[in-house]
Amino acid sequence: MKHLQDVPEIRHLIEEADFVTHRSVAGHGGLRTFLSGMCTQSPRWMSVRAPKLHSGEKVSFETLRRSVEKKAGDEIALPGDRLLCFVTVAASDVFWIGEQSHRNLRVFFAVAVEDREDGPELFHVANVVRFKNVLGLLQFFLLRPFHAWISRKLMIAGSRAVCS
């Protein structure tokens, strides 16, 4: 968690959080590879409700994955860009923060890359939840097992991309 605290944008989220989880995985390939691996996590029951693209093609997980891979330069995503169900809040070549806001709570998904001289990169993933009111606490209490499960699935999908 120390590396996440070193990124000011993520540190600010953690300091004001009501609930935080943190996991790390080692791998090669960079943040872009990890995020595009996350986009491959597409269970059948999960759908992306988004407008059609110019060619009439519906937005799919494969389309989202390709859009992450195609971005030029060091820009992983710009604020406002969508990645899975998250809206990008901030991004650079070493971290990405996405947000999903509901009526009663806000969920942030943050990924930071730690370059290590003695081995592979270390990818730190944090889930940060802020309750907007008491109903947010109740809602999260009911959804917490599902939240843990889907967060783990996203982490596994990202780690497969950087560990292969």
Domain boundaries, the chain: 2-163
In terms of Cα–Cα distance, which of 130, 125, 150 is closest to 140?
A: 130
H/E element, 112: strand 105-114
16-20: long-range contacts, CB 8 A cutoff, minimum separation 24:
16/130, 17/128, 17/129, 17/130, 18/129, 18/130, 18/131, 18/137, 19/127, 19/128, 19/129, 19/140, 20/126, 20/127, 20/128, 20/129
Residue-level pLDDT at 27: 84
Average pLDDT over residues 122-139: 91
Rounded to two decimals, the pTM is 0.75
pLDDT-derived band at 142, boundaries 50, 70, 90: confident
CATH class of 2-163: alpha beta
Mean pLDDT of the chain: 77
Average pLDDT over residues 39-50: 54
Q: Does the pLDDT at position 45 exceed 60?
A: no
Residue-level pLDDT at 66: 53
